[in-house]
Amino acid sequence: MLPRISCRILILVVIAVLSPVLIHAGDGRDAGPSKGALGNIIAMYQKHISVVDGDRCSMVPSCSEYASQAVDKHGILMGCIMACDRLLRCGGDDTNTAEILYRNSRKYFLDPVEANDFWWVSRNHANQ
C-alpha cells in the first residue's frame, strides 16, 4: 500500500500529463507537432500558470517557449536537457553577451535555441 502523499503526487502527475481537455478547452487548437505528454505539460503551464504568474522571463523566447521549441527541434531527451540548461541560465551571465531587444518598453535578452545548439547541429549537418 503506497503512502497517502505518494498517491496524491501520483494522481497529480497523471492529471497533468493526460489532461488535453484542460489545455485545449475552447480554443480548437491542435496539440502541435510535438511532444505528447511533455507538450501538454508545457502548454498547460503556459495557459494556466504563466497567465496567473505573469510574464517574468527576461529572455526571448521565454523559457517555456524555448523548451517547446527545443523539444520540437531535437526531441524529448535533448529538448528537456536544453530546457533545464535554459532554466539554470535564465537571467544570468547570458545577459552580458546576448543581444538586447525592447518590447513594450521592457528590456529582453535574445537567446534562441539556435544560439545554444549551433556547435553540434552544424557538425551533424556536415557529417550527413
Which residues make up the interface to another protein (CB under 8 A)? 2-3, 5-6, 9-10, 13, 80-89, 92-94, 97, 115-119, 122, 126
| CB nearer another protein, residue 16 or residue 22 | 16
C-beta closer to another protein: residue 32 or 92:
92
Phi and psi at 25, nearest 5°, equal -60, 120
CB of 121 to another protein, least distance (A): 10
Q: CB of residue 49 vs another protein: minimum separation in angstroms?
A: 16
Q: How far is the CB of 13 from another protein (least distance, A)?
A: 7
Each as own residue / partner, the long-range contacts of residues 92-96 (CB below 8 Å, 24 or more positions apart, any chain) are 94/59, 95/58
Nearer to another protein, 55 or 99 (CB): 99
CA–CA distance, 118 with 77 (Å, rounded to integer): 17
The number of beta carbons lying within 10 Å of the beta carbon of residue 97 is 9
Considering beta carbons, is residue 55 or 85 the nearer one to another protein? 85
